[in-house]
């Protein structure tokens, strides 16, 4: 069965390019330019549970002619658990963070490549389908081996010592490998809800983790910075 995508983007040329490129990749794309159009498409889907037309993922622009994409994301989060990718311009940083904290799965800053978009779709759908076998076994990325249940990390066969917090931070990022995790989500999950403003903790621990795990800590390939938003562990299984 084809993977069906709900695409909400009011820029006609971008919408058409995305639609055509994704259809070439074998996806089926239902494009809308307004919140109203997307809502009625969703209402039809949500009314027809388990219908073969069910969307597998929503790709949502923030600035839409009849309102903000965030209202759609809230609607989606209340009534379904399909992954949501936000596509937005750089200046929407603040709303982007709020949307991620509110349950959007990931975001892409315009302009982005179709390859990047496909990778994000793949990660979001794989995570959604819980087809995430890497996380209980040994995870291997280049010279690195991570065993989550044993809390062990090795590099080229040599054991690397991580502190409890370093390991917890690594495990949290790995649980969503390939997707951005906001500062607030990381601080809340690793340190606790009362630490969500302590972004300096994160910076410190990310520096330590990179020093231990990256080939070149100044040019990280595993632990990626999403400026102003959070961090992303690279996609597992993707070539470095």
Q: How far is the CB of 232 from Ca ion (least distance, A)?
A: 24
Q: Write the DSSP string, 7-70.
A: EE---HHHHHHHHHHHHHTT-EEEEESSHHHHHHHHHHHHHSTT-TT--SEEEEESEETTEEHH
Applying CB under 5 A, which residues contact Ca ion? 10, 61, 63
Q: How far is the CB of 210 from Ca ion (least distance, A)?
A: 35
Burial class (CB in 10 A: 0-12, 13-18, 19+), 84: buried
Question: Between residues 61 and 226, which has the closer beta carbon with respect to Ca ion?
Answer: 61
Q: How far is the CB of 61 from Ca ion (least distance, A)?
A: 4
Q: Which string of b and e fits 140-163 if b means at least 16 CB within 10 Å?
A: ebeebbbebeeeebebeeeeeebe
Question: Between residues 73 and 148, which has the closer beta carbon with respect to Ca ion?
Answer: 73
Question: Between residues 66 and 138, which has the closer beta carbon with respect to Ca ion?
Answer: 66
Q: How far is the CB of 44 from Ca ion (least distance, A)?
A: 23
Question: Between residues 84 and 186, which has the closer beta carbon with respect to Ca ion?
Answer: 84
Q: How far is the CB of 5 from Ca ion (least distance, A)?
A: 17
Those residues with Cβ within 8 angstroms of residue 65's Cβ, 6 or more apart along the chain or in another chain: 10, 33, 34
Relative to beta strand 152-155, strand 144-147 is antiparallel
Question: Between residues 10 and 221, which has the closer beta carbon with respect to Ca ion?
Answer: 10
Question: Between residues 95 and 188, which has the closer beta carbon with respect to Ca ion?
Answer: 95
Q: How far is the CB of 64 from Ca ion (least distance, A)?
A: 6
Contact 147, 136 (CB under 8 A): no
**Residues 168/137/207/201 CA torsion (nearest 10 deg):** -10
Residue whose Cβ sits closest to Ca ion: 63
């Amino acid at each position: 069965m084809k993977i069906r995508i709900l695409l909400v983007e009011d820029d006609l040329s971008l919408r058409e390019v995305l639609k055509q490129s994704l259809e070439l990749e074998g996806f089926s794309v239902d494009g809308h330019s307004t919140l109203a159009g997307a809502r009625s498409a969703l209402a039809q889907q949500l009314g027809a549970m388990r219908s073969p037309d069910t969307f597998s993922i929503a790709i949502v622009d923030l600035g839409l002619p009849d309102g903000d994409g965030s209202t759609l994301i809230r609607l989606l989060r209340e009534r379904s658990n399909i992954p949501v990718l936000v596509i937005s311009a750089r200046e929407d940083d603040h709303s982007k963070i709020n949307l991620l904290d509110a349950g959007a799965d990931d975001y892409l800053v315009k302009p982005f490549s179709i390859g990047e978009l496909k990778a994000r779709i793949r990660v979001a759908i794989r995570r959604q389908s819980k087809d995430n076998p890497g996380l209980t076994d040994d995870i291997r990325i280049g010279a690195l081996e991570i065993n989550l249940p044993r809390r062990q990390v090795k590099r080229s066969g040599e054991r690397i010592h991580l502190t409890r917090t370093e390991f917890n931070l690594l495990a949290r990022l790995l649980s969503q490998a390939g997707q951005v995790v906001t500062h607030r989500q990381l601080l809340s999950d690793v340190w606790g809800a009362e630490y969500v403003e302590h972004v300096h903790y994160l910076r410190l621990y990310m520096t330590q983790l990179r020093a231990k795990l990256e080939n070149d800590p100044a040019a990280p390939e595993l632990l990626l910075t999403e400026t102003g938003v959070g961090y992303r562990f690279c996609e597992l299984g993707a070539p470095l």
